[in-house]
Amino acid sequence: RALPGVGVYTAAAIAAIAFDDPATVVDGNVERVISRLFAVETPLPQSKPELKTLAATLTSEQRPGDYAQAMMDLGATLCSPRSPSCLVCPVEEFCAAHNLRIQNELPRRSPKSARPVRRGASFVAVTEDGCVLLRRRPEKGLLAGMMETPSTAWGENAPLADEALGFAPVEGVWLRMPGGVSHTFTHFQLELDVYRSHVPRDTQLRLAALPEQCRWVRREDVDAEALPTVMRKVLSLAFERPIAGPKVSKRGFLTQ
């Protein structure tokens, strides 16, 4: 457990399978098997402590590695989430859920709460020779060290057009692309307005854009960059249509 990236499940699996220690190995497959064997109707994730306690009552002192692997395999094959193969299951006669005919209903799960929504704006600056401005994200936090198109912070409210312009990496005429980008992270939903501008290669970057973290990348080389999916969506939207035609508003935005 002291090693980085080794959690409770991995540590128990190593102890049981590699060292034959009677550790209780509980992954999602084992949780499903235990919830059906004991007909546990408390929904996940609230039932996790109870399921682990019940699993521990079955952990074998003899050949614990084989037992742990067998339980995981049982959940991965016969005791599947939908339409479990009860007729060929080796523990069918001991399964409380099967005896109650509720195996298809278990394990129950609490309804997921709606993800909070964060909003922001992202800027795609393109030079005449086809280079795109990318910026490296901070080394800590979400998407640490990955590349992005310069963007505002993500918050509850989307910046208005005039506010967003203050975060643009360079002076220019910016077109707001129709539709924007939506991306789901584990704990929140992100909605980004996307702006695009053609700028000279020698344009001076604003200090707020963190120039030391920025570099110009040829468009054909962008795919090789460490770009998160959300930023690939931003670039795809930005290059869907050229900048041409709309009128220029006050403060340098293009109107639709």
**Is-contact 204 115, C-beta < 8 A?**
no
CATH numbers and ranges of domains, the chain: 8-105 (1.10.1670.10), 117-254 (3.90.79.10)
Contacts of 149 (CB under 8 A, 6+ apart): 122, 123, 124, 125, 132, 133, 134, 135, 231, 234, 235, 238
Confidence of residue 250 (pLDDT cuts 50, 70, 90): very low
DSSP for residue 240: S
pLDDT at residue 256 tops 80: no
What pLDDT, in 10s, does the model give residues 72-113? Answer: 999 999 999 999 999 999 999 999 999 999 999 999 999 888
**Is-contact 53 118, C-beta < 8 A?**
no
pTM, to two decimals: 0.57
What pLDDT, in 10s, does the model give residues 159-203? Answer: 888 888 899 999 989 999 999 999 999 899 999 999 999 999 888
Confidence of residue 1 (pLDDT cuts 50, 70, 90): low
